[in-house]
Structures are given as structure tokens and as C-alpha cells.
């Protein structure tokens, strides 16, 4: 019998863009260093994984800087004490840590890991995509959506499916069209869907400003019913 998946609305200090502050997979979740115990417990209750507090470049914006899935975590070059914490978490949960020292270091905003595919911002140099493909064994796809270059912001992959901004056309994602569970907005009209959706196979957290229709689209599209 399949375990019922949990769905909950969430915000951080009245900010519904929860994806800016968090990353989650089926092994763990990480959140900005200032998160309180109540928030961590609420996340753990929905996602059913241990939650760790970290900082990236002295900020709480974990979701902006970090990308990955159950097998890989891609992070920017950061301070030594911060890197040690990431190394410890990844080692404990058998996740390979990849460090990328590029000017465009907001990796969470610019990469979206799927099932053996990675959507990336086409503004990265070709060498970046080639290196990432070699290290992961995944197919790297440059996402070219006019005015929306941040692949990790306009697309998210949860519970085995992509959920994408309505600005993404079928021609932009023809190689993965069968894996797209839904297309829409979040937090009352935002195209940056990953900023309002944080989840794994156990449950999903959705930005608190999301409308009933947006919540329904996410829950149904990503099979969280």
C-alpha cells in the first residue's frame, strides 16, 4: 500500500518564495542557517527526511545556490567551514558533491536536475555543460526561453516529473516532454515555479501565496494526490 503523500503551505518570515531558502531530495533537506526548530520540524514532517541548517557564501539562500537530486549535489565554491558542512552531509547520505567555480554561481537558479537529464542556462560556457555531463552521466539540455534564462527557476523536478513555467514552450523541452507533469505558475502568478515548490517523493511544500488553482495544478501534475 502506497504511503499517503503530504502537502503543506509554507513561508519564511512572510516570504512565500520558500525555494530560495531550501533544497530537498529523498535523502535529506537543507535550509538556511537562521531557520528555527519549528520550521525544521514542519519540513521534516512533510518531507520525512532529516533537515540540516547550512549557509552558502554567508547567506541563507540555499535554494538559489544549490542544485541536485538523490545522487548529486552541485554547489558553488564557498567558504571552508561551509564546504565542510556540505561534505559531511553528502558523505553521510551517499551523495556525490560537485563544486563549480563559475561567475554564474547561482546554480540552483540555473540548473534543474531531472531523471538522467539536467536543464541548464544556455549562458553557461559549453565547457560547463560538457563537464557536468561527464561527471554525472546525464544528458545536459540548454534551456532557451526568451527573457527567462534561469533554467532552475522556471523548472523544477519533483516526484519523478517536471513542473514548468507557462513561459516554456514545447519546442524548448521536446526531449523531455513526456516527463512534464504540469505547466503553470506559483505564488499568485509567478513564473519562477521552483521558488514556490519544494518536495520529494514523500510530500511537497508550496508557497503560501499560491492560489487554489495553482496548488491543485501542482498537486495533480506532480502526483501528490
Mean pLDDT across the chain, nearest whole number?
95
Alpha helices in the chain (DSSP H): 37-47, 62-65, 80-92, 107-110, 126-136, 151-154, 212-221
- Residue 131 CA to residue 164 CA, distance in Å, equals 25
Fold of 6-221: 3.75.10
**Contact of 181 with 221, CB cutoff 8 Å:** yes
Sequence-distant (6+) residues with CB within 8 A of 50 are 28, 29, 44
User: Grid coordinates 540555473 are at which residue?
Assistant: 110
Residue 147's pLDDT is: 84
pLDDT in tens, 120-140: 999 999 999 999 999 999 999
Q: In what order do the strands lie in the sheet containing 29-32?
A: 22-24, 29-32, 51-54
Give CA separation, 111 vs 158, 175, 197, in Å. Answer: 14, 16, 15
Quickly state the pLDDT bin for 25 (edges 50, 70, 90): very high
- Residue 171 CA to residue 144 CA, distance in Å, equals 10
Q: Give mean pLDDT, residues 80-99.
A: 98
Between residues 169 and 188, the one the model is more confident about: 188
Asked which of 9-18, 36-45, 143-152, 179-188 is least confident by mean pLDDT, the reply is 143-152
pLDDT in tens, 29-88: 999 999 999 999 999 999 999 999 999 999 999 999 999 999 999 999 999 999 999 999
In terms of Cβ atoms closer than 10 Å to its own Cβ (0-12, 13-18, 19+), residue 204 is buried
Q: What is the chain's Cα-based Rg?
A: 16
Report residue 172 as a C-alpha cell: 524548448
Amino acid at each position: 500500500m502506497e504511503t499517503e503523500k503530504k502537502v503543506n503551505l509554507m513561508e519564511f518570515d512572510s516570504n512565500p518564495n520558500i525555494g530560495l531558502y531550501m533544497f530537498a531530495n529523498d535523502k535529506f533537506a537543507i535550509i538556511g542557517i537562521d531557520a528555527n526548530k519549528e520550521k525544521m520540524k514542519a519540513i521534516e514532517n512533510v518531507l520525512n527526511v532529516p533537515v540540516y541548517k547550512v549557509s552558502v557564501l554567508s547567506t541563507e539562500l540555499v535554494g538559489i545556490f544549490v542544485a541536485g537530486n538523490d545522487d548529486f549535489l552541485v554547489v558553488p565554491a564557498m567558504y571552508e567551514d561551509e564546504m565542510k558542512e556540505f561534505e559531511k552531509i553528502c558523505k553521510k547520505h551517499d551523495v556525490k558533491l560537485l563544486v563549480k567555480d563559475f561567475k554564474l554561481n547561482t546554480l540552483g537558479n540555473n540548473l534543474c536536475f531531472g531523471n538522467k537529464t539536467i536543464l541548464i542556462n544556455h549562458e553557461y560556457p559549453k565547457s560547463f555543460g560538457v563537464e557536468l555531463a561527464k561527471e554525472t552521466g546525464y544528458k545536459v539540455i540548454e534551456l532557451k526561453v526568451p527573457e527567462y534564462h534561469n533554467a532552475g527557476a522556471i523548472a523544477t523536478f519533483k516526484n519523478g516529473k517536471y513542473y514548468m513555467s507557462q513561459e516554456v514552450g514545447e519546442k524548448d523541452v521536446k526531449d523531455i516532454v513526456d516527463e512534464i507533469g504540469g505547466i503553470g505558475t506559483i505564488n499568485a502568478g509567478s513564473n519562477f515555479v521552483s521558488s514556490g515548490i519544494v518536495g520529494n517523493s514523500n510530500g511537497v511544500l508550496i508557497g503560501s501565496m499560491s492560489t487554489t488553482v495553482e496548488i491543485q495544478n501542482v498537486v495533480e501534475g506532480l502526483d501528490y494526490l
